[in-house]
Amino acid sequence: MRKLSLDNLNKFFAAVAESKTIYLPVDQKDGSAKYAKWAEGTEWSNALNTVRSPKDLFFPQTEDLMEFKTEGKNIEIIDIRKESEDFVIFGVRACDVKSFEVLDRVFLSEPVDSFYASRREHAIIVALACTRPSETCFCTTFGIDATEPAGDVSAWKTDSALYLKANTEKGEAFLKSIEALTEDADTAEVDAQKTKTAEIMKKLPLADLTTDAFGGGKTEELWNNPVWDEMSQTCLGCGTCTFVCPTCQCYDIKDFNTGNGVIRYRCWDSCMYSEFTRMAHGNNRLSQKERFRQRFMHKLVYYPENNEGLFSCVGCGRCLAKCPISMNIVKVMKKIGGDK
Amino acid sequence: MQKITRDQLITKAVELLSNGTVSAVLGWKKGEFDYDITPAVFTTEEEINNGFVYNDFCGANFSKYLVAKTKKLEGKILVFLKPCDSYSFNQLLTEHRFDREKVYAVGIGCEGMADVVKLKNKVDGIVSIDYNDDGMYVDTLYDGTVKVDYAEVMAERCINCKSKKCVAYDELLGEDGEVIDSARFDEVASLEAMTPDERFAFWQGELSRCIRCNACRDACPACTCEKCVFDNPGSGVENKAPVTSFEEQMFHIIRAFHVAGRCTDCGECSRVCPQNIPLHLLNRKFIKDMNECYGEYQAGAEVGSRAPLVDYTEGDLEPGEVFERGENDA
Amino acid sequence: MNMREETLIPKVGVITDVRIDTPDIKTFRVVTPDGKKAFDHRPGQCAMLSIPGVGEAMFSITSSPTNTEYMEFSIKKCGCVTEWLHQAEVGQQLTIRGPYGNPFPVDDVFAGKNMLFIAGGVGLAPLRSVINYCRHYRDRYGDIDIVYGSRSKDDLLDYKEIIDEWANDAGVNVHLTIDNPQQGWDGHVGFVPNYVKELNFDTNKTAVLCGPPIMIKFTLEGLCALGFDKTQIYTTLELRMKCGVGKCGRCNVGSKYVCKDGPVFRCDELDELPSEY
């Protein structure tokens, strides 16, 4: 394990930034945090997490896929892809690191999504252990250890230092590149922090939430549950939950005529939107109940069915904080699974 | 802290349900942490006793739900209207959006609602919220029980409350209040005082955070089009992320134009925005302009009133004067 | 640019022939600009066609894989992409990517079987591929029955091919029907599901259905009433799709993605999906 004095934090960012772009959580004017590029003077946020998840950095809200030039009846397709450059995402929480695995299984399965893959391959993830989880946190429900985040490098921040441990070859190379700023350290301080945080995790209000009622093969059992009617009745049908969710990855592909050619771009889409499944001759999900059910069934049943039991929720709590009507996956899980 | 209590509302709801006046109750359902309250439809006394809550986190405006709920239900639905909700209620009636006969409205006084974002910025790890005679006590994960001064966490829209008067109800619980000469246009005035570049930078900073989740539109009681242009695939701008930031800003500006004269300034747009964009300021700018150009007008103050933009009077500002006004602004 | 291949980036195709089949269906022949088939496919698979600036949509490939020269798409005018295509002329370029989805199991499950194809309206488009495949390898299959119905005689797709070719093949029986009586039509009149029941097919067949959802529903019931087991019946689904490779989330039903795990399903597999297709 290596140790970086917090006094050297800016030197560390500056050293890394010489060769790579670093994204890290920074505070916004309204008090919330977001991932932004580090530049001299950028302050690393103390916030537990960002409003938007770091999925943006692999799967941005909009991205151009290709361009077309048309002339008369002819079409030219222009491949505008560029291989990503190496970059660092710093300060990713354990839940969000896990979300990358959920996304990987979609985008990196055959046929591989080259847009996502290029960024993913060039990213170095420096994950940060939590010390002050929020009441809305429930990552433990999904087997995530917030004190021991995955990623290329795991980091622990104490009052005076940042402890760093490499988990992958990429991570080792990264630590090597900043070796001069760090020193060898034992794990005592980190172990103490982990023990303390683990105690807090046990006491979180949602610590008892379980996935027992969910998983692959439960479609028939859960499909006609009256809960869908009841809980969706005031759903506004907005896309907030899906857009702040680190694992939601549905997208749309659209064309934009610039007047000087056509850009085909991809943008986030939401299964909560009434138009999501609309075809020229009909829509197979006509009510908000059906759309609401789709979102939760996908996360808790369909996705695990296709992915060896891995749930498509990481317990980050963003939807708990942001849903305009305070409806969320925890309420659904408790209602269906029964409150302990 | 609210003067109206949960018990008062439950008693009223159960009374109206059991005497057959209504067949359903639109109310607030308790969540996990006392602040995450969900609007819900209750149909039995049991449901009400188990789940109905009322506290400082019941900010949601129920009026818009009536558009969909009155279509589906047999019989009447009970709705509790806080003063600002009652303006939306009237405005929706003015626009013939629901059948008044299918609603039993109970007006309730309001002491101003809390803003969860403000509270969370002050207090970390909220486990539960209790009240004593002297205020709000938050049980936290890290700092024990913290006393919170209610004024510090009150929503902006409530600090600048325009009216404590319920303008629509079948029955009123508690005392009615008065229309307030609020300072709600002060912030608009300070934006007006900026140079165009400063103002552009301000809005660019705010609107650049938009994730186009449509929560503002979906919560807005003035946005009740059967088919929003932003949901229409043929429009080319259907509920999707934009190609350019210019387009993003246009979404909000188009929406502000569309609700101009109909927006009651209930503030739901800003409450629901996951990115805390002060969207209500766009609408307030319109309200302020209309007040200045056409005389004071409050949408929803009564049913059937003609908004200045759809009402011709000889005293109306000439287009040329409006143009000049814009020129002077720039 | 040396990045890996990207399925979302299409190839250029060119329309080399447009056949007017019915008042609202045209069949487009598509090849690459150098005159070749854009890619190989199996019967029942689909391709994404697009017109830049108009949109992209999934269509079943109606020509048989045994046609090595070009692909054909029978397209009904019903949305913005299809409307645009309907006014396109020979020589118009478009973009094409694919093939997508699982094909009909023509080489294993269907081999040696008597085949019963049942289609309604433009639902013949995906079946034409497998019908012509079976006709091409005629000796690999038993008897072939084709039941095809449409609103009127004018709405029957591939009418000339059906009459001139299919009906003349040995061991191929064609049963046409239209919804309502029409002058100049002396064939069967009535809906497909009823006709299927009237024809009282022996259950020693593998059935393949495609048509409007309501037709599929009642035909399936009809076949089951005749004693068919759902494991003997195949169909092909259509839902909104954007990516074609099970990622964009649109065609997700239960744990399946229609674009990737379908569009061909055996009817007993459909029973395991939530009824949302």
Tokens found for residue C176? 């046409």
Beta carbon pairs, A and C, within 8 Å: 129
Q: Which residues of A touch B271 (CB under 8 A)?
A: 324
Q: Which residues of A touch C249 (CB under 8 A)?
A: 249-251, 269, 271, 298
Domain tally, chain C:
2
Q: What pLDDT is attached to residue B1? A: 80
Q: What pLDDT is attached to residue A340? A: 45
The shortest C-alpha distance from B31 to chain A (Å) reads 8
Phi, psi of C247 (to 5 degrees): -120, -35
Facing A257 at nearest CB: one of C53, C56, C243 = C53
Query: Which parts of chain B sit beneath pLDDT 70?
Result: 236-249, 328-330
Using CB atoms within 10 Å of the CB of residue B124, give its burial: 0 to 12 exposed, 13 to 18 middle, 19+ buried: middle
Q: Which residues of C touch A111 (CB under 8 A)?
A: 5, 7, 245
CATH number at residue C37: 2.40.30.10
Asked if B248 and B297 sit in the same domain, the reply is yes
Using the CB atoms, write b or e for B140-169: b if 16+ within 10 Å: bbeeeebebeeeebbbbbbebbbbbbbbbb
Tokens found for residue A233? 């009745």
The reply to whether residue A234 touches residue B65, judged by beta carbons under 8 angstroms, is: yes
User: Is the minimum CB–CB distance between B212 and chain A shorter than 8 Å?
Assistant: yes
The reply to whether residue A269 touches residue C56, judged by beta carbons under 8 angstroms, is: no
Neighbours of A215 (CB within 10 A): 15
Q: Is residue C2 part of a domain?
A: no
Tokens found for residue A25? 């959580």
Note if the pTM is more than 0.90. yes
Query: Which parts of chain A sit beneath pLDDT 70?
Result: 339-340
Q: Which residues of A touch C55 (CB under 8 A)?
A: 254-255
Asked if B44 and B20 sit in the same domain, the reply is yes
The reply to whether residue A243 touches residue B36, judged by beta carbons under 8 angstroms, is: no
Asked if B164 and B210 sit in the same domain, the reply is no
Q: Which residues of C touch A113 (CB under 8 A)?
A: 6, 8, 247
Phi, psi of B223 (to 5 degrees): -95, 85
Facing B38 at nearest CB: one of A135, A240, A327 = A327
The shortest C-alpha distance from A69 to chain C (Å) reads 8
The reply to whether residue A111 touches residue C53, judged by beta carbons under 8 angstroms, is: no
Asked if B167 and B21 sit in the same domain, the reply is yes
Site of tokens 């558009």? B67
Q: What pLDDT is attached to residue B74? A: 86
User: Is the minimum CB–CB distance between C240 and chain A shorter than 8 Å?
Assistant: yes
The reply to whether residue A77 touches residue C12, judged by beta carbons under 8 angstroms, is: yes
Whether the upstream peptide bond of residue A25 has omega within 30° of 0, thus cis, is no
Asked if C122 and C213 sit in the same domain, the reply is yes
Q: What pLDDT is attached to residue C275? A: 83
Asked if C137 and C95 sit in the same domain, the reply is no
HSE-CB of B247 using CA atoms within 13 angstroms: 15
Q: Which residues of A touch B224 (CB under 8 A)?
A: none
Domain tally, chain B:
3
Pairing of strands B126-132, C172-178: unpaired
Integer angstrom CA distances of residue A284 from A287, B218, B288 = 9, 22, 45
Rounded to the nearest 10 degrees, what angle do helices C213-225 and C192-199 cross at? 20
Cα–Cα distance between C26 and A24 in angstroms, integer?
A: 54
Q: DSSP of A54-122, one letter per residue?
A: GGGGTS-SEEEEEEEEEETTEEEEE----PPPPEEEEEE-HHHHHHHHHHHHHHSSSSP-HHHHHHHHH
Q: Is residue B178 part of a domain?
A: no
Q: What pLDDT is attached to residue A258? A: 82
Pairing of strands C46-51, C55-60: antiparallel
Asked if B164 and B17 sit in the same domain, the reply is yes
Q: Amino acid letter at C124?
A: L
3-state secondary structure chain C: CCCCCCCCCCEEEEEEEEEEEECCEEEEEEECCCCCCCCCCCCCCEEEEEECCCEEEEEECCCCCCCCCCEEEEEECCCHHHHHHHCCCCCCEEEEEEEECECCCCCCCCCCCEEEEEEEHHHHHHHHHHHHHHHHCHHHCCCEEEEEEECCHHHCCCHHHHHHCHHHCCCEEEEEEECCCCCCCCCEECCHHHHHHHHCCCCCEEEEEECCHHHHHHHHHHHHHCCCCHHHEEEECCCCCCCCCCCCCCCEECCEEHHHHCEEEEHHHHHCCCCCC
Using the CB atoms, write b or e for A117-136: b if 16+ within 10 Å: bbbbebbbbbbbbbbebbbb
User: Is the minimum CB–CB distance between C258 and chain A shorter than 8 Å?
Assistant: no
User: Is the minimum CB–CB distance between B231 and chain A shorter than 8 Å?
Assistant: yes
Cα–Cα distance between A57 and A248 in angstroms, integer?
A: 14
The reply to whether residue A135 touches residue B117, judged by beta carbons under 8 angstroms, is: no
Q: Is residue C91 part of a domain?
A: yes
Integer angstrom CA distances of residue B162 from B27, B190, B271 = 23, 19, 16
Asked if B165 and B231 sit in the same domain, the reply is no
Cα distance between the two ends of chain B: 43
Asked if B103 and B129 sit in the same domain, the reply is no
Structural domain span for residue B25: 6-115+158-173
Q: Which residues contact B289 (CB under 8 A, 6 or more apart)?
A: none
Q: What pLDDT is attached to residue B85? A: 96
Q: Which residues contact B15 (CB under 8 A, 6 or more apart)?
A: none
Q: Is residue C50 part of a domain?
A: yes
The shortest C-alpha distance from B314 to chain A (Å) reads 41
Q: Is residue B43 part of a domain?
A: yes
Q: Is residue C269 part of a domain?
A: no
Cα–Cα distance between A20 and B149 in angstroms, integer?
A: 46
Q: Is residue C134 part of a domain?
A: yes
Asked if C134 and C229 sit in the same domain, the reply is yes
Q: What pLDDT is attached to residue B328? A: 64
Percent of chain B predicted with pLDDT > 90: 72
Q: Is residue B1 part of a domain?
A: no
Q: What pLDDT is attached to residue A184? A: 94
Q: Name the band, by pLDDT with cuts 50, 70 and 90, for residue C1.
A: very low
Asked if B211 and B302 sit in the same domain, the reply is yes
The reply to whether residue A83 touches residue C242, judged by beta carbons under 8 angstroms, is: no
Asked if B250 and B292 sit in the same domain, the reply is yes
Residues in chain C: 277
Q: Is residue B293 part of a domain?
A: yes
Structural domain span for residue C128: 114-236
The shortest C-alpha distance from B214 to chain A (Å) reads 5
Beta carbon pairs, A and B, within 8 Å: 126
Asked if B140 and B231 sit in the same domain, the reply is no
Selection from B247, B42, C186 nearest residue A258 by Cα: B247
pLDDT digits (tens, 9 = 90+) for A60-95: 999 999 999 999 999 999 999 999 999 999 999 999
Asked if C232 and C141 sit in the same domain, the reply is yes
Asked if B26 and B110 sit in the same domain, the reply is yes
Asked if C121 and C219 sit in the same domain, the reply is yes
pLDDT digits (tens, 9 = 90+) for C39-62: 999 999 999 999 999 999 999 999
Instruction: Examine the fold and report which residue of C71, C100, C129 is the final residue of a domain before the chain moves on.
Output: C100
Q: DSSP of B255-268, one letter per residue?
A: HHHHHTTT-----H
Q: Is residue C216 part of a domain?
A: yes
Asked if C29 and C122 sit in the same domain, the reply is no
Asked if C94 and C118 sit in the same domain, the reply is no
Is the interface score ipTM higher than 0.90? yes
Asked if C128 and C226 sit in the same domain, the reply is yes
Asked if C124 and C226 sit in the same domain, the reply is yes
CATH number at residue C127: 3.40.50.80
Q: Is residue C161 part of a domain?
A: yes
Q: Which residues of B touch A256 (CB under 8 A)?
A: 243
Q: Which residues of A touch C79 (CB under 8 A)?
A: 279-281
Q: Is residue C276 part of a domain?
A: no
The reply to whether residue A280 touches residue C79, judged by beta carbons under 8 angstroms, is: yes
Tokens found for residue A182? 């760090």
Facing A75 at nearest CB: one of C1, C80, C93 = C93
Asked if C195 and C223 sit in the same domain, the reply is yes
Instruction: Examine the fold and report which residue of C78, C100, C122 is the final residue of a domain before the chain moves on.
Output: C100
Asked if C125 and C174 sit in the same domain, the reply is yes
Asked if B16 and B163 sit in the same domain, the reply is yes
Asked if C127 and C232 sit in the same domain, the reply is yes
Q: What pLDDT is attached to residue C188? A: 94
Phi, psi of B8 (to 5 degrees): -60, -45
Q: What average pLDDT does the segment C118-141 reach? A: 94
Q: Which residues of A touch B274 (CB under 8 A)?
A: 51, 240, 243-244, 322
The reply to whether residue B218 touches residue A324, judged by beta carbons under 8 angstroms, is: yes
